[in-house]
A and B are shown apart, each in its own frame.
Chain A
Amino acid sequence: MPENVLDVHDLDVRFATEAGTIHAVRDVSFSLTRGEVLALVGESGSGKSATAMSLTALNRAAGNTRVTGSVRLHGRELMTLSERELRDVRGAQVAMVFQDPMTSLNPVRRVGDLIAEVIRAHDPVPRRAAARRAVELLHEVGIAEPGRRAELFPHQLSGGMRQRVLIAMALALRPAVLVADEPTTALDVTIQAQILRLIRVLRAEHGTSVLLITHDLGVVAGLADRVAVMYAGRIVETAPTSAILASPRHPYTAGLLESIPRIDHPRSARLPSIAGQPPTLQDDDPGCSFAPRCRSAHEACARRPVLSDGIACHLPGGRR
């Protein structure tokens, strides 16, 4: 059994807001082995991004956020590190690529400088060496004419190019873990495929473990080894990608898969959807969070199911 690169245990995130406390992430545990791609799947507000931000305590500065639990990188606990110690982890060991490449790059700096700045923040190489390395990285992420492109400002690049720049920044220091928070959501379909292929290649070449955060099951099928489905702040099912796509056990996962439009179904057919709304994350109901929307809910669902054997459901497979 390979040693885990990243171990997350009982991660819990609460935000204090004017409308009350939002309990965004609830007892989330997962791990990543070397070179593994784990997809964290769920709808908006299910706690995926809050989980990602918590890994390197990026939400700590917000002041209104309380994070508990344990995040261990190569066995080293990150939750108790100081802000200064965390800076050495961020970008160098755990790097992030965010959703919106249009706004995630500083608009007033040249992209080559942005990459070189990240290199120099962690590795005291001379300015010129860092600039050269930035050009190499741009080449590595598939940007043609990297020398010229390094001199451009973000607004002079297309969305796909900017996402490549962000990936180059993230990979500059060969991090052990890449957290990709909806890396393809803002891009059109052909560019999406290119970015996914790039992440796949980089993972194969450098053995980087990837935590892929997405609501797009197409992306999951193309990239992930394993899937963890989140609902209302909890992981409700986790399984290898092929298993979960072929035979989902949790009714929520099944509902998600049914609501994907399929090319082999008649166009006139109404797209199935999961009835109802996800619960607000303020109150903590004692039962299964999904029960109010579940087709197969019954009395047992008034108690919260625990995640065991990769599933948190009293009636895995449901009553059809």
Chain B
Amino acid sequence: MIRFVVRRLAGLVLVLFAVSLAVFALFNVIPGGDPALRLAGRHPTQQNIAQIRHDWGFDRPLPVQYLDMMDHLVIRRDIISYQDQTPVMPTIETGVPRTLSLAVGAAILWLVFGVTIGVLSGLNAGRWLDRVLTVVALTGISIPIFWLGMVLLYLFTYRYRDVGVFSWIPIGGYASWSDPIEWAKHLIVPWCVLAVVSIGFYARVVRASLLDARGADHVRTARAMGLSRSRVLFRHALRTSLIPVVTLFGLDFGATVGGTVILIEKVFGIGGVGQYAQESVAHLDLPPLMAITLYGAAIVVVANAAVDIAYAWLDPRIRVA
């Protein structure tokens, strides 16, 4: 187990190095990327631009620029945005808890509901409950989430804001974790919106996997030995059918943090890292992009390691001897 963790950490460093190199290289080959031109304002002279190039160090060789940037990013942690010349790290540090609150909360929701709906569907396969849940799941999968987000926002906070049940839902934004009730109030709608697609998807996967497992030889053995229905279901059929869910989750959580979360942050004005990333891309602002991709990659790698550990617990066949 210790060897496993050490290998993971070494892998993490490698991944982060590769990611930073890729982002840096990519930025330096795309057209319109030259920050000196934009820093110089609307009618710059050649001299102006040269001055800015020199001051910001853009005239030095790329490897030196890269090392300098990494130094400011990782060691001194005082890297400055090209766009508005504000420090990057404080903005990210306010954003990370927001983004993680959103992503982790949604992940818990979609796991709990996805698995529950999938199990109910699988147990009642072919009966009306299964059909209803299948329609619900497919609807969830098919809804574009930014649309759903805006519609819910409109309904809850504008159209029906006088209806008692919705009146406590804030219009958006974020409240700190230090007040858990306010925090949850601000996040409940974004959580649901973000989880909807995955709930539908996980329900389908769990249903299929459970149906497979129920016909499996070892489940037949458990039944033939007279174990109770709940034991056969939970200790035998369900445990093996959750293995693909864990695999999926490892991939999805990364994809959510790196993708869908951005939409939701934007729609609900949460001000997380995703929103910051989106703005930085729009402005071709390299320093925050570097910082965000590194943070993001680190979170994804750590999440994947956690998934691998969960995987090893669920399925002893893949435990490293």
A284 at the interface (CB under 8 A from B): no
Select the stretch in A91-99, A204-212, A289-297 that faces chain B: A91-99
Bound Cα distance from A155 to B321, whole angstroms: 12
Bound Cα distance from A100 to B236, whole angstroms: 17
Q: Verify A153–B226 contact, CB threshold 8 A.
A: no
B-chain residues with CB within 8 Å of residue A155 when the two chains form the complex? 316-317
Q: Verify A118–B227 contact, CB threshold 8 A.
A: yes
**Which residues of chain B from 226 to 250 have any CB-CB distance to chain A below 8 Å in the complex?**
226-229, 231, 235-236, 239-240
A-chain residues with CB within 8 Å of residue B239 when the two chains form the complex? 106, 108
Q: Verify A106–B240 contact, CB threshold 8 A.
A: yes
Bound Cα distance from A117 to B236, whole angstroms: 11
Bound Cα distance from A89 to B225, whole angstroms: 9
Residue A121 contacts which of B220, B228, B317 (CB distance < 8 angstroms)? Answer: B228
- Closest A residue by C-beta to B215: A62
B224 at the interface (CB under 8 A from A): yes
Bound Cα distance from A104 to B221, whole angstroms: 6
The winner among B221, B222, B224, B229 for most chain A CB atoms within 10 A is B224
Q: Verify B224–A108 contact, CB threshold 8 A.
A: no
B-chain residues with CB within 8 Å of residue A89 when the two chains form the complex? 226
B223 at the interface (CB under 8 A from A): yes
* Minimum CB–CB distance for B129 against chain A, Å: 15
Q: Verify B217–A166 contact, CB threshold 8 A.
A: no
B314 at the interface (CB under 8 A from A): yes
Bound Cα distance from A171 to B236, whole angstroms: 20
Residue A92 contacts which of B221, B226, B240, B316 (CB distance < 8 angstroms)? Answer: B226
Q: Verify B218–A121 contact, CB threshold 8 A.
A: no
A-chain residues with CB within 8 Å of residue B251 when the two chains form the complex? none
A-chain residues with CB within 8 Å of residue B22 when the two chains form the complex? none
A174 at the interface (CB under 8 A from B): no
A-chain residues with CB within 8 Å of residue B220 when the two chains form the complex? 58, 98, 104
A90 at the interface (CB under 8 A from B): yes
- Closest B residue by C-beta to A52: B224
Q: Verify A90–B216 contact, CB threshold 8 A.
A: no
Bound Cα distance from A257 to B240, whole angstroms: 43
- Closest A residue by C-beta to B237: A106
- Closest B residue by C-beta to A121: B227
> How many of chain B's residues have a CB under 8 angstroms from any CB in A?
23
Chain B interface secondary structure, helix, strand, loop or mixed?
helix
B-chain residues with CB within 8 Å of residue A166 when the two chains form the complex? 221
User: Taking A117-B231, A155-B316 as contacts, is the C-beta distance between A61 and B218 under 8 angstroms?
Assistant: no
Q: How many A-B residue pairs have CB under 8 A?
A: 80
Residue B235 contacts which of A92, A117, A169 (CB distance < 8 angstroms)? Answer: A117
A-chain residues with CB within 8 Å of residue B236 when the two chains form the complex? 106
- Closest A residue by C-beta to B224: A96
Interface bits A154-184 vs B (CB < 8 Å: 1, else 0): 0100000000001001100000000000000
The winner among B221, B225, B239, B316 for most chain A CB atoms within 10 A is B225
**Which residues of chain B from 290 to 321 have any CB-CB distance to chain A below 8 Å in the complex?**
314-317
Bound Cα distance from A110 to B216, whole angstroms: 18
A-chain residues with CB within 8 Å of residue B240 when the two chains form the complex? 106-108
Q: Verify B226–A90 contact, CB threshold 8 A.
A: yes
- Closest A residue by C-beta to B229: A83
B-chain residues with CB within 8 Å of residue A100 when the two chains form the complex? 217
A-chain residues with CB within 8 Å of residue B224 when the two chains form the complex? 56, 58, 90-91, 95-96, 98
* Minimum CB–CB distance for B78 against chain A, Å: 50
Q: Verify B223–A107 contact, CB threshold 8 A.
A: no
User: Taking A107-B316, A108-B316 as contacts, is the C-beta distance between A91 and B218 under 8 angstroms?
Assistant: no
Bound Cα distance from A100 to B221, whole angstroms: 11
User: Taking A98-B221, A103-B218, A104-B221 as contacts, is the C-beta distance between A118 and B226 under 8 angstroms?
Assistant: yes
Q: Verify A107–B218 contact, CB threshold 8 A.
A: yes
- Closest A residue by C-beta to B126: A63
A139 at the interface (CB under 8 A from B): no
B-chain residues with CB within 8 Å of residue A117 when the two chains form the complex? 227, 231, 235
- Closest B residue by C-beta to A119: B225
* Minimum CB–CB distance for A69 against chain B, Å: 20
Bound Cα distance from A155 to B216, whole angstroms: 16
The winner among B220, B229, B231 for most chain A CB atoms within 10 A is B220
A14 at the interface (CB under 8 A from B): no
**Which residues of chain B from 179 to 229 have any CB-CB distance to chain A below 8 Å in the complex?**
216-229
User: Taking A117-B235, A153-B316 as contacts, is the C-beta distance between A104 and B218 under 8 angstroms?
Assistant: yes
* Minimum CB–CB distance for A141 against chain B, Å: 15
Residue B217 contacts which of A58, A61, A95, A98 (CB distance < 8 angstroms)? Answer: A98
* Minimum CB–CB distance for B244 against chain A, Å: 13
Bound Cα distance from A87 to B227, whole angstroms: 7
User: Taking A103-B217, A107-B218, A107-B240 as contacts, is the C-beta distance between A61 and B223 under 8 angstroms?
Assistant: yes
Interface bits A102-142 vs B (CB < 8 Å: 1, else 0): 01111111000000011001100000000000000000000
- Closest A residue by C-beta to B222: A106
A-chain residues with CB within 8 Å of residue B317 when the two chains form the complex? 107-108, 153, 155
A88 at the interface (CB under 8 A from B): yes
Starting from the known contacts A61-B223, A118-B225, A170-B225, 12 additional A-B residue pairs (CB-CB under 8 Å) come to A86-B226, A87-B226, A87-B228, A91-B225, A95-B225, A100-B217, A105-B221, A106-B219, A106-B239, A117-B227, A117-B235, A121-B231
Residues in A lying within 8 Å of B, measured CB to CB: 56, 58, 61, 83, 86-92, 95-96, 98, 100, 103-109, 117-118, 121-122, 153, 155, 166, 169-170
